[in-house]
Amino acid sequence: MAPPFVFPSTLRDLERDDDGDDEGEPSLRPHAPIAVTALRAADLDEFVKGTSFDLSDKELFCIEEQDVFNNIYSLVRDFTFLPPALKFNLVEALRSNLSVLLPNIHSLSRASMSSPSDGIPIADRIASHRNALKIYSFFLLSIVLAQESSADSGTGAKVAAHGRKKNPVYAWNWEAQRGRIMNLVANSLEADLTLLFGPGGADERYLSFASKCTYVLFENQNVLKDEETRNGLCRIIGAVATRHQKISQTSASVLHLIHKYDFTVAHLAEAVAAAEKKFGDGSLAISLIREVGRTDPKDYVRDAAGADNVGRFLVELADRLPKLMSTNVGVLIPHFGGESYKIRNSLVGVLGKLAAKAFKDVDGNNSAHSIRLRSKQAMLEILMERCRDVSAYTRSRVLQVWAELCEENAISIGLWNEVASVASGRLEDKSAIVRKSALQFLITMLQHNPFGPQLRATTFEATLEKYKEKLEEKESQSPVEGELADDHPLGEVIVGQDESVSDSCLPSSQDQTDKDPTFVDITNLEQMRAVYASLEAGLRFTTCITSLMPILIQLLASSSATDVENTILLLMRCRQFQVEGSEAALRKMLPLVFSQDKSIYEAVESAFIAIYTKRTPTETAKSLINLNIDCSIGDLAALENLVSSLVLKGEISSNMMSALWDYFCFNINGVKPVQCRGALSILCMAAKSSPSILGAHLQDIVDIGFGRLAKEEPLLARTACLALQRLSEEDKIKLLSTSTRVFAALQSLVTSFSLPDKIWYGATDKAISAIYTLHPAPEIFAAEIAKKSLSSVFGALGTDGVSNGVELETQNSSIITEISTMKLGRFLFVISHIALNHLVYIETSVKKIHKQKQKNEKSQSTNEDSPVDGSKKSEAQDINAELGLGVTRDVAIEFFAEKAEREIVSYSCEKNLIGHCGPFLSKLCRNLTLLQKFPELHASAMLALCRLMIIDTEFCEANLQILFTVVENASSEIVRSNCTIALGDLAVRFPNLLEPWTEHIYARLSDSSASVRKNAVLVISHLILNDMMKVKGYINEMAVRVEDEDERISSLAKLFFHELSKKGSNPIYNLLPDILSRLCNQHLKEETFRNIMQFLIGSIKKDKQMEALVDKLCNRFAGVNDVRQWEYISYCLSQLTFTEKGLKKLIDNFKMFEHALCEDSVLNHFRSVIAKCKKFAKPDIKACIEEFEEKVSKVHEEKKEQEATARNAEAHKQKIDSLDKILLAKEVGQDDKNSAEEETSEVIDPSVDGNAEDKEAEETSEVTDSNAENKGAEEGTEDIDPSMDTNAENKVVEEAAEDADPSVDTNAENKEVEEAAEVADPSVGSNAENDEETEEGTEVTGRSVDCSAENEETDDATKDIDPSADRAAENKENMTKGSGNTCSGKSQTSSTVTESEDDSTEVQSSKTARNRKRSTRSTAKKMREPIPEDSADVAPPARRSTRSSRRQ
């Protein structure tokens, strides 16, 4: 018996591993393998054939023999070096033996139940079968690995050296062999191996090696492209995991493959689903789902690719195993709260698959059915909630899932309108991909709606009303019938209505309703209720779709091409279902043919073809005619572009052209004149690309276009003139030769008054253009028309001919009132339009001359007779070129052209017809007072003036001032609009003349009229975008229009800046600082300013420009002190997109904006910048950002503290200033007092009591000492709190207040004051100084001075001053006064004491209101006593005051 075979890790390990099996027995190993690469080709061939013969001739177990095992090992080890034929022989021998061995295993299981017939023990036979199975599987899998590795590395190219025939290296079909081998290994693993390996299961090494090979092959994308090989690999995975219970190992390996290789996702999901179906065991799928659910959501944020692959795997698994996934989806729901939007997207897809497939069956009891319905409802609610996900990708994915559910008919009618409402709201999402998904979802809803092919709200309302009446009648008549009807099968449908859109009664009833929209008689009450409910739902859905039309019209103007394309598709679908408003909305797409985006143009063209041309010729013609009739001027231009393009492409057939001619010629019954005009207009559009279309009906155009129908349809004549201009050259010649009444009809159209004004101007415009296109001498015919028009206007004045033109200049303005303003306006229009067409005619003629000249030169060069003549001519041409003869001709042509242009308006020529009208027109336009009375004449006159200015530069320069005066001051907005448009034409023709007036052109952007502003935006946009005018410093006016109250103007301004940003290196980048500066000075609303700057900054995309803007904006802080400008600049900084360099520049410029951080609004803007930078910053940059944030906050707090300190200092300074003023006033008063006291001291009675004087002198010395101490304290101890000596000061104040003479009070009457003055000194009583002192509040009354009034005055002046402020100054003042009084003579001691006490009282009165009140009361009390005549009477009160002070 051969030793057992033990699976090694790799093939080469068989040579190195000498260990036995798990039980310690020796294992089968190769001994002395043969070096196959060293054999000659013949020997190698013979060796392989011998080995193959042994495998096929001997029994299956011969592979256990050592010789055979060695040979096979040697060949497998060097398999890649074998020729293809030998490879095929070896592989086929091994595969065939294994395929025969597998059935023997089954037979062995039957033989084990009976006694062996050949005498070999059953255990040995089992061991041999086990060994053979393992050896064959090992060698076949090793061959597969070796072949695939060689194919990847390309080493198989060396094989050709051994081949005798020049066969291709891989001539044999390895893919087929590989598929057979893998399926054979899968069969072996799926077989019942319990007998071979025992109840414990198959050999771990065997299963591990097979799994390893499978996963290695799964990593090769080319291997998975082969279906047979892929199926074999999937079977192996399923068998190992399910059959052999290796769930955990397999799930880990599968998840590893899913994370690393995206191309394995679908195949692995297929393998898991196949295992569940084959073995009826979903353990592997459940394990994978739970493993995904247990994963930390943050891991998926770090591994975005892995998250994407895992999500796709879950969706694929839910698609293949919906029921199993529905029972385990709960472990995945928490991932909705994760940060990875890819996982959320996948979970949304999983729920969509489950809602569509997991609940379709109706097996089971009612409880199970209700559980499934609740589960489905919960899933749908989650999907509704995810429509508001933070990620645009998830919102988009949710809408896509809803569209899939709609296609699967998995949305109930009860939920239909709710979902439609959510999708409608997503049309205004800020993300383009969400809007795209919403549009596509709504298209799908319309396609699969359960309410019928027509969604007209009026039809639903009428039908619903009838059913409502019938239902009410039915319910009132037979309430019992409703109970009996509960057993009707319809009840089951109503119950299952939440499960599917398809309702058994809805299609039939709706079809009947469509066939007979009035009413369908339904007898069953429940069925009638169901129909009523369905009609209500249909009406709500129709209303929802109808309400979307304004939003869809806005989306047609979106900058996103996908928005426009899908909106057009949705509008087409709405039109198909006859939704109200869809037809009008579709017409809004016509101007999109001018879009530069090719996809948008193609979408519009395709929609136009599908709507209007995919019909019969007659229907197509009728639809185009109706479209033309209802179009605006802009839509007509777009329609012309489309029709001419379709004619070139052959999309419009000749049969349709014939139908259009039938409509024009009234060959169809019931044709109206307006349809006739519409048909001719469409034909003119087609003639733009194919002029020959009009040639066959020239006479019809003249007869019908200028015949009697022109009066019924005024625009018919204008269209006929346009058709004449579109004729080909051959048809023009033919028309002139056959028809004689063409020009008479054109002249009659211009000079007659049959057409109304609004129609006449347009018809005359085309008529004069047709004359200059068709007539051989248009200037002569135009002169006749001008003369006739002139005579029709001024013929009533008794003058005739062109002579009127000369006299008009000198006529009085009263003439205007004698003629018809309508005729004069038309005459001016005719004259100006003829002049303009004549200018075009001159330029066209010059081009023809140049073209003919070039043609002649080419013909001369091609008609040379001989080389000699050719050389002579070439020499002659060279001589002419040197002499400048060729240039002279061109100069002459240009000279005559310029002369002809000047003669159009110039008055110098006597025969100039229009030149005579120029001065009159100029004078008329200058008479603004007159023209304001006639608005129509004013418009015509200014339009004519502008046209003549366009023609001649001198005339333009002479009338520019009146033009700008009118454009600014004219009361009519029509006049201002026309002049604004004319300014654009003048700027193109005479840029140098208009350059000084640029500011006035920009000023039109601020006009009060919306139409003027709109035209100004259009004109300036045209001039700037076409490089006809430089972007001046007034571009801020255009920026303001971004927030114009008129939405149309705002859109045009935004379009201008959008297009401007595409030019060069984005001029907006250079203009932005100047715009910012000017907008800051315009006092705009804050919201308006922010919206403007946000839009402008959003148009800057380059990082370098953003970084440079950081520098520029930071530098603007340096020279600005206005807080509002700080806020604006910081807001602009917050709108920038900061890169790492930009952030560093911001930090480097900190000193520039440091002073502005004191404002809270500025700080908030910088904090928003910091928050924005933190989101995507790297760790090292984050630290820098946090440091910058701390620095900004710190500076802000410091600035706030400095501001508070500065405010307090300013308030303190104001208080000190007011105090200084008061003290200064007192010093002036004190000087007056001193002078008065000196006079008073001379008349004091010498009989004063000496004791009293001594006491008063002692008190005076005490006061003086106190002042001296205060002075010393001030000089020596500045840091001492001045409030420490408050008690002493209070005592002095009290003494001074009580010692004051109560006989005098400044609040008393003037009489008392005068009496007191007379008692003190009669010689001074009448002095004028006393009066002045009385007015100032400071009185000197001899020896006694009352301080009460002074205290009150000081209190009023300093009531807001801090009592403790500048105490040192007060002390110094007291000290100065005290020392001065001390130096006085002894005879003035009493007076000095009184003054010192008075001064002290004045200073301290602001601190001690209590003492002031006490002094006032004392003074008021003593005023009632008689005034003493002797100074000695004053002493006793002074002594009482001293004693009371001491007692205190």
Contact 1057, 1095 (CB under 8 A): yes
% of the chain beyond a pLDDT of 90? 25
Distance separating alpha carbons of residues 1081 and 1173, to the nearest angstrom = 30
175-184, 970-979, 1329-1338: least confident range: 1329-1338
Residue 131: burial class (beta carbons within 10 Å; 0-12, 13-18, 19+): buried
Checking if the pLDDT of 717 tops 60, the result is yes
- Which of residues 1420 and 797 earns the better pLDDT score? 797
User: Nearest-CA neighbor of 232 among 144, 101, 130?
Assistant: 144
Give residue-wise pLDDT tens across range 154-165.
544 344 334 444
DSSP 1085-1137: -HHHHHHHHHHHHHT---HHHHHHHHHHHHHHTTT---HHHHHHHHHHHHHS-
What separation, in Å, do the N-terminal and C-terminal C-alpha atoms of the chain show? 134
Q: Residue 45 contacts by C-beta under 8 Å, 6 or more apart in sequence?
A: 83, 86
Distance CA 1296, CA 1415 (A): 9
Q: What is the pLDDT of residue 65?
A: 83
Span 435-443, mean pLDDT? 95
Distance CA(320)–CA(333), nearest Å, equals 19
Give the up-direction half-sphere exposure of residue 197: CA atoms within 13 A in the CB hemisphere.
19
Cα–Cα distance measured from residue 1043 to residue 1016, given in angstroms and rounded to the nearest whole number = 15
Which among 273, 271, 347 has a CA at the least distance from the CA of 310? 347
| Per-residue pLDDT, 1282 | 37
**Residue 427 pLDDT exceeds 90:** yes
**Range scoring the smallest mean pLDDT among 180-189, 770-779, 1266-1275:** 1266-1275
Specify the range with the lowest mean pLDDT, choosing from 116-125, 896-905, 1015-1024.
116-125
- Please report which confidence band the pLDDT of residue 119 belongs to, taking 50, 70 and 90 as the band edges: low
Residue 663 scores a pLDDT above 80: yes
Alpha-carbon distances of 1422 from 57, 1349, 1419, 1426, rounded to whole Å: 155, 15, 5, 8
Asked whether residue 274 carries a pLDDT value surpassing 80, the answer given is yes
Q: Provide the pLDDT confidence category of residue 106 given band limits of 50, 70 and 90.
A: low
| Local structure of 1164: helix, strand or coil | helix
Q: 179, 140 in Cβ contact below 8 A?
A: no
Distance of CA 109 to the CA centre of its chain: 74
pLDDT band at 264 (very low <50, low <70, confident <90, very high): very high
Cα–Cα distance between 344 and 395 in angstroms, integer? 10
**Residue 785: C-alpha distances to residues 778, 793, 915 (Å):** 10, 12, 16
**78/75 Cα distance (integer angstroms):** 5
- C-beta separation of 441 from 423 below 8 A: yes
* Whole-angstrom distance, CA of residue 1296 vs CA of residue 1279: 28
Would you tell me how many other CB atoms lie within 10 Å of the CB of residue 692? 11
Measure CA 899 to chain center.
Answer: 55
Return the pLDDT at 1279: 40
Residues contacting residue 23 through CB under 8 Å, at least 6 positions apart: none
CB atoms inside a 10 Å sphere around CB 996: 9
More confident residue, 77 or 1352: 77
Dump pLDDT digits (tens) for 286-305: 999 999 999 988 888 888 88
* Range among 1007-1011, 1030-1034, 1419-1423 rated most confident: 1007-1011
Provide mean pLDDT across the span 1021-1035.
87
Separation of alpha carbons 49 and 299, rounded Å = 56
Cβ 641 vs Cβ 682: under 8 Å: no
pLDDT at 859: 75
Mean pLDDT of 675-686: 92
pLDDT at 1330: 38
Q: How far apart are CA 1300 and CA 422, in angstroms?
A: 92
Contact indicator for 1170, 1188 with CB cutoff of 8 Å: yes
Q: Which tokens sit at 1285?
A: 């000596």
Residue 195's pLDDT band (cuts 50, 70, 90): confident
Residue 44 pLDDT greater than 90, yes or no: no
The DSSP output letter for 1302 is T
pLDDT surpasses 80 at 552: yes
Among 96-110, 1284-1298, 1365-1379, which range has the highest average pLDDT? 96-110
pLDDT tens profile 1162-1221: 889 888 888 888 877 777 788 888 888 888 888 888 888 888 888 888 888 888 988 888
Percent of the chain residues past pLDDT 70, beyond the cut = 74
Q: What is the pLDDT of residues 624-653, one digit of tens each?
A: 999 999 888 888 999 999 999 999 888 888
Question: Which residues neighbour 597 within 8 Å (Cβ) at sequence distance 6 or greater?
Answer: 561, 564
Strand partners, 1444: none
What's the CA gap between 372 and 379, in Å, rounded?
11
What is the three-state SS of 448-509?
A: CCCCCCCCCHHHHHHHHHHHHHHHHHHHHHCHHHHHHHHHCCHHHHHHHHHCCCCCCHHHHH
The rounded distance, in Å, linking the Cα atoms of 1164 and 375 is: 48
Q: Give the mean pLDDT of 232-255.
A: 91
Residue 914 is predicted with a pLDDT of: 80
With a cut of 80, say whether residue 239 has pLDDT above it: yes
pLDDT band at 394 (very low <50, low <70, confident <90, very high): very high
Using one digit for the tens of pLDDT, what is the confidence trace for 1357-1400? Answer: 333 444 333 444 444 444 444 444 433 333 333 333 333 344 44
Crossing angle of helices 227-238/204-218, nearest 10°?
140
Which tens digit of pLDDT belongs to each residue from 1319-1356?
334 343 333 343 433 334 333 333 333 433 344 433 44
Q: Per DSSP, what are the bridge partners of residue 1341?
A: 1344
- Alpha-carbon dihedral 370, 373, 375, 381, rounded to 10 degrees: -140
What pLDDT score does 797 carry? 55
Helix 1389-1405 vs helix 1348-1357: crossing angle, to nearest 10: 30
Reference 444, options 501, 398, 406; nearest CA is: 406
Q: Which two tokens stand for residue 993?
A: 């003349």
Sequence-ordered list of residues with C-beta below 8 angstroms from that of 565, at least 6 positions apart, any chain: 599, 600, 603
Least confident of 355-359, 963-967, 1003-1007: 355-359
How does DSSP classify residue 1341? Answer: B
Q: Picking from 148-157, 204-213, 318-327, which range would have the lowest pLDDT averaged per residue?
A: 148-157
pLDDT digits (tens, 9 = 90+) for 805-835: 444 444 444 555 567 788 888 899 999 999 9
Q: Mind spelling out the 3-state secondary structure of 123-183?
A: HHHHHHHHHHHHHHHHHHHHHHHHHHHHHHHCHHHHHHHHCCCCCCCCCCCHHHHHHHHHH
Sorted by sequence, the CB contacts under 8 Å of residue 1308 that are 6+ apart come out as 1423
Spatial CA neighbour of 142 closest among 79, 84, 205, 184? 79
Residue 46's pLDDT band, with cuts at 50, 70 and 90, is confident
